Structure 1
Amino acid sequence: MGLHAAYGARDGEGRHVTAESGSRAGLVAQAGRFLVVGVLGAVVDLTVYTLALHLGLWVHAARALSFVCGTTTAYALNRRWAFRVEGGRRRALGFALLYGTTFFLILGVNAATLALLPDRSWTVTLAWAISQGVGTTWNFVMLRTVVFRP
C-alpha cells in the first residue's frame, strides 16, 4: 500500500483527506483506532498514576503527571495511526490547546469525584477512571471535529 493510499492526499485547500474522512464506516474505523490508542494511553496514565501514588506523590500531582505521560503517548499514536494526519505547528498547537483544556477538565472531575465518594480503598482508582472517561469522550469529539479534521 502506497503512502497516499495509507495516509490519504490533500484537498484543494491543502487539508489532509482520506477515503474514510466523511463516511460512516470511516468514523467507525477511526473510533476503533482511537479506542485502541486510548487503551494504550490509559495504561500508561494509570501505571504512572499508581506508581507516583506508591512513591508518595500528592494525589493531584500524581494525576497531573500521569495525564502528561498518557497524553504524550496518545498524541503520537492518534496523529499517525488513529486520525492518519501529518504533523505541523498548527495541528500541534491545536492539540496542545485541547489537551490543556482537557488537563483542567480531568483534574476537576478527579478532585470532585474524590470529594464526593466515600473514603475507601477503591475511591482513588474510580476517580481516575471517571476523569479518564470524561476526558476521553471530550478528546475524541474535539480531535475529530477540530484538531485532526480533514
Structure 2
Amino acid sequence: MPVELPLDDEEASTSVPLKTQLIRFVATGAGSAVLDYGLTLALQYGLGAPFGVAKAFGFILGTTVAYLINRRWTFRAEPSTARFVAVLALYAVTFAVNVGLYSWLSHAWEETFVYSTAAFVVAQGVATVINFVVQRAVIFKIR
C-alpha cells in the first residue's frame, strides 16, 4: 500500500475541476522544485558532483514527493498498481528530458550559479508541462 498523505479528509475523486488541479499541481510542483533545486545545487556545488548526477538525485527526490502529493491532493486518485506503473514510465521520460536538458545547457553555458539556475528553470519547466498534461489526460484516469 503506497504512503498516504493526510492533506484533507475528502473522498478521493478524479472529478476535481481543471483550475483546482492546475493550482494544486503548481503549488505542489513549486515545493517539490525547491527540494529538487536545493539537492541539485548542494550536490553540484557543495560536493562537486557532475551536472547529470546532481540533477538526477534532485529529480528523484522532487518527483517522488510531487507524485505522492499530486496523487492524493491534486488528482484525488486512489492507489493503483496500473497507475503507479504508468507514472514510472512517465517519470522515465521526464527524467531523460529534465536531466538531459539540464546537462546539455550546463555544458553549453558558462558554469556559474546564475546559468545553473537558468538551466534548472528551463529543464524543470519543460518536464512540468509534460507531467501535467500526461497525468491529467492519461495517468489519473487509470483505475
Match of 1:95 among 87, 95, 104: 87
- Superposition RMSD in Å: 1.8
Deviation by residue 1:104-128 (Cα, 9 ceiling, x = unmatched)? 0112211222233344441111111
Partner of 1:32: 23
How many Å apart are 1:68 and its aligned residue?
0.3
Q: What's the secondary structure of 1:102's corresponding residue?
A: helix
Percent of residue pairs bearing the same amino acid type: 32
Partner of 1:11: none
How many Å apart are 1:7 and its aligned residue?
1.8
Pairing of 1:67-82 with structure 2 (within 5 A) = 67-82=59-74
Aligned letter for 2:91? Y
Deviation by residue 1:40-85 (Cα, 9 ceiling, x = unmatched)? 1101101111211111211110000100000110010000001110
The question of 1:134 aligning with 2:139 is answered no
4+ runs deviating over 6 angstroms: none
How many equivalent residue pairs? 134
Structure 2: state its 5+ residue gaps. 1-8
Pairing of 1:102-121 with structure 2 (within 5 A) = 102-121=94-113
Relative to structure 1, the CA distance from residue 35 to residue 91 in structure 2 (aligned partners, 3 Å threshold; closer, same or farther) is same
Deviation by residue 1:10-61 (Cα, 9 ceiling, x = unmatched)? xxxxxxx43x3xxxxx101110000111011101101111211111211110
Q: TM-score, normalised by structure 2?
A: 0.86
Does the CA contact (< 8 Å) of 2:43 and 2:49 recur in 1? yes
Partner of 1:7: 12
Match of 1:51 among 38, 42, 48: 42
How many Å apart are 1:96 and its aligned residue?
0.3
* Higher normalized contact order (CA 8 Å, seq sep 6+, divided by chain length): 2
Q: Which has the larger radius of gyration?
A: 1
Q: C-alpha distance in 2, partners of 1:113/1:59?
A: 10
Partner of 2:54: 62
Q: C-alpha distance in 2, partners of 1:55/1:117?
A: 21
